[in-house]
C-alpha cells in the first residue's frame, strides 16, 4: 500500500469547495506545455488525479480528448459535472495504480497536476511509459506555497501558532525563495529509468484572500483536513483575528509551480 494513502484519500472530503478554493494554474504553463510537447487537439491525453477538473477544464476547452482518473468518488462526480459539455472527456473513479486501461490504449501525453506525488513511484512510471504512444511525454506540476523576497509577513506571524499546535513546517524555516528550490520531480523522474527530462520551468504568482477565502483554501489541504478539529478551530480563530486588524482584512499568498516535462526513454 502507498505510504501516503491515508492522506491522499482525505481530498475527497473537500470535493464541494476544492474547485473554487484552489488557484487556477497560469495560462503560460499550458502554453509552455503545448509548445514543449508539440501536442495539438484532438490528441488524447491521460490525466492522473484530476480532482474536480482543475487542470482538465482548460485542456478540454482547447479540444483535447482526455481520460481523467480520480481516486475520490465525490471529486470524480464534481469533475463529471464540470466537464459534462465535453463529450471527448471521460472521468474514471479509480486509483491510477489499480486502473485497468482498455487493451491497446495509448495516449500522447500523461499528465498530473498537484497529484503525481501521491501515486506509488514503484508503479506510476512504468505504467505511464507503457501507456504512451511513440513520441509521448509525461508532464507533472504542483501548486506550492512560495516564499519570495516580498512574502506577506502574515506567514511569519502565524507560524508560532502552528508550532504551538504541534504542526511544524516540513522543511527549513523560513523556506528558501522559489527560484532556489530544486525541481521537486526531475530527479525522481530521471531515476525511474523510463523517462528523460527535457524541460523544467518555474512559475510564481500571487493571490489575495479574505479570512473566509483563506480558511476555505486551507480546508482543501490534506494536513488541515486530517488535523484535529480543535487545532483547526484555534488556528482559524487566530487567522481571523490577525486579518481583522488589517485595513482591508486580506493577506497575499504567493504560489509557485514547476512544470516538468519528460520524454519516454528509447524514443
Domain ranges of the chain: 5-146+177-205+254-264
Query: Of all residues in the chain, what percent carry a pLDDT higher than 90?
Result: 82
Q: Which of 89, 22, 92, 84 is nearest to 54 (CA)?
A: 22
pLDDT category of residue 133 using cuts at 50, 70 and 90: very high
CA distance 35 to 46: 18
Residue 264: how many CB atoms within 10 A of its CB? 21
- Is the pLDDT at 154 greater than 60, yes or no? yes
pLDDT category of residue 183 using cuts at 50, 70 and 90: confident
pLDDT category of residue 3 using cuts at 50, 70 and 90: very low
DSSP 152-170: -THHHHHHHHHHHTT---S
SS3 (DSSP) at 138: strand
SS3 (DSSP) at 86: coil
Tell whether pTM > 0.75: yes
What are the tens digits of pLDDT across the range 47-83? 999 999 999 999 999 999 999 999 999 999 999 999 9
List the single range of 10-24, 172-186, 198-212 with lowest mean pLDDT. Answer: 10-24
Task: Tell me the average pLDDT of the chain.
Answer: 92
What are the tens digits of pLDDT across the range 98-113? 999 999 999 999 999 9
For residue 42, whether the previous peptide bond is cis, meaning omega lies within 30 degrees of 0, is yes
How many residues are there in the chain?
267
Q: Which residue stretches of the chain are H helix?
A: 5-8, 18-21, 27-37, 56-61, 73-82, 121-131, 154-164, 186-191, 211-218, 222-226, 229-244
pLDDT category of residue 222 using cuts at 50, 70 and 90: confident
Res 266: pLDDT: 66
Integer angstrom CA distances of residue 233 from 164, 190, 227, 240? 13, 42, 10, 11
CA distance 61 to 83: 9
Res 267: pLDDT: 52
End-to-end Cα distance, the chain: 32
What are the tens digits of pLDDT across the range 82-98? 999 999 999 999 999 99
**Grid cell 488525479 in the structure block, residue:** 49
Res 1: pLDDT: 34
Rounded (to 5) percent helix, strand, coil in the chain: 40, 25, 35
- Is the pLDDT at 2 greater than 60, yes or no? no
Q: Which of 131, 123, 134 is nearest to 102 (CA)?
A: 131
For residue 174, whether the previous peptide bond is cis, meaning omega lies within 30 degrees of 0, is yes
DSSP 171-206: SSSSPPPGGGSPPTTHHHHHHTSSEEEEEEEEEEEE
Residue 34 dihedral angles phi and psi, to the nearest 5°? -70, -40
5-146+177-205+254-264 architecture in CATH?
A: 3-Layer(aba) Sandwich (3.40)
Integer Rg of the chain from CA: 19
Q: Are 111 and 66 in contact (CB under 8 A)?
A: no
- Is the pLDDT at 136 greater than 70, yes or no? yes
Q: Which three cell numbers stand for residue 264?
A: 519516454
Amino acid at each position: 500500500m502507498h505510504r501516503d494513502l491515508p492522506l491522499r484519500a482525505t481530498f475527497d472530503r473537500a470535493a464541494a469547495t476544492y474547485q473554487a478554493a484552489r488557484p487556477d494554474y497560469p495560462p503560460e504553463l499550458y502554453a509552455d506545455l503545448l509548445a514543449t510537447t508539440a501536442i495539438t487537439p484532438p490528441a488524447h491525453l491521460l490525466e492522473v488525479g484530476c480532482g474536480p477538473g482543475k487542470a482538465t477544464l482548460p485542456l478540454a476547452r482547447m479540444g483535447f480528448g482526455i481520460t481523467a482518473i480520480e481516486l475520490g468518488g465525490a471529486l470524480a462526480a464534481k469533475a463529471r459535472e464540470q466537464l459534462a459539455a465535453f463529450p471527448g472527456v471521460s472521468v474514471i473513479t479509480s486509483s491510477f495504480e489499480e486502473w485497468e486501461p482498455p487493451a491497446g490504449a495509448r495516449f500522447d501525453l500523461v499528465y498530473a497536476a498537484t497529484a503525481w506525488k501521491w501515486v506509488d513511484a514503484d508503479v506510476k512510471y512504468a505504467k505511464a511509459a507503457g501507456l504512451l504512444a511513440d513520441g509521448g511525454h509525461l508532464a507533472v506540476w504542483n501548486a506550492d506555497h512560495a516564499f519570495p523576497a516580498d512574502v506577506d509577513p502574515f506567514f511569519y506571524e502565524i507560524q508560532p501558532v502552528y508550532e504551538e499546535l504541534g504542526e511544524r513546517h516540513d522543511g527549513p524555516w523560513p523556506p528558501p525563495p522559489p527560484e532556489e528550490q530544486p525541481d521537486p520531480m526531475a530527479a525522481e523522474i530521471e531515476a525511474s529509468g523510463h523517462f528523460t527530462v527535457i524541460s523544467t520551468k518555474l512559475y510564481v504568482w500571487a493571490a489575495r484572500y479574505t479570512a473566509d477565502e483563506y480558511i476555505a483554501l486551507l480546508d482543501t489541504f490534506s494536513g488541515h483536513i486530517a488535523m484535529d478539529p480543535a487545532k483547526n478551530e484555534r488556528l482559524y480563530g487566530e487567522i481571523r483575528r490577525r486579518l481583522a486588524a488589517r485595513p482591508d482584512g486580506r493577506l497575499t499568498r504567493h504560489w509557485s509551480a514547476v512544470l516538468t516535462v519528460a520524454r519516454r526513454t528509447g524514443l
